[in-house]
Amino acid sequence: MKNIPLAADEPDTCRKIREKVPPISASPGSNEHFASQDKATMECIKSGGDIIKNHHRTKDFPSKLYCKPYAESGMANTRAGSGSK
C-alpha cells in the first residue's frame, strides 16, 4: 500500500524490501497485487526474514502476510544454546 509512513526504527530487512519492491496502489486480488506480494515475499526470505500468515485480520493488521525480520540477538542466543549436552 502507498502512503504508509516509515518508522524511524524500521529494521534493515523491511527497508531493503521497500527499496526493491516499492508500494503499489493496486487493489487486493489483482494480478499486480499478487505479483508485488510475491516479490516482497521473496525479498523477505532472501534477507533472512520469516513469512507470517495473518489468520485474524484486523483494522491494525489488514494484510494476509507479514515479514518478520531476522533478529540477530535472538538467533545468537539460540545458536549459543544449541549444542548437545
* Per-residue model confidence as pLDDT tens digits over 13-58: 888 888 888 888 888 778 888 888 899 999 999 988 899 999 998 8
Residue 5 zone, left/alpha/beta (φ > 0; ψ -120 to 50; rest): beta
pLDDT at residue 25 in the model: 84
85: pLDDT confidence band, cut at 50, 70 and 90? very low
Which residue's C-alpha cell is 538467533? 75
Q: What is the C-alpha to C-alpha distance for residues 40 and 51, in angstroms, rounded to an integer?
A: 10
Say what the pLDDT of residue 30 is. 84
Q: Is residue 84 part of a domain?
A: no
Q: Would 33 be classed as within a structural domain?
A: yes
Q: Does 80 reside within a domain? A: no
Residue 57's pLDDT is 87
SS3 call for 70: coil
What is this structure's pTM?
A: 0.64
Give pLDDT, residue 13.
82
How many domains does the chain contain in total? Answer: 1
36 is in which domain, residue-wise? 12-71
Q: In this structure, is residue 22 part of a structural domain? A: yes
Measured distance CA(52)–CA(64) in Å, rounded = 9
Res 72: pLDDT: 62
Question: Which residues have CB under 8 Å from 20's CB, separation 6+?
Answer: 39, 43
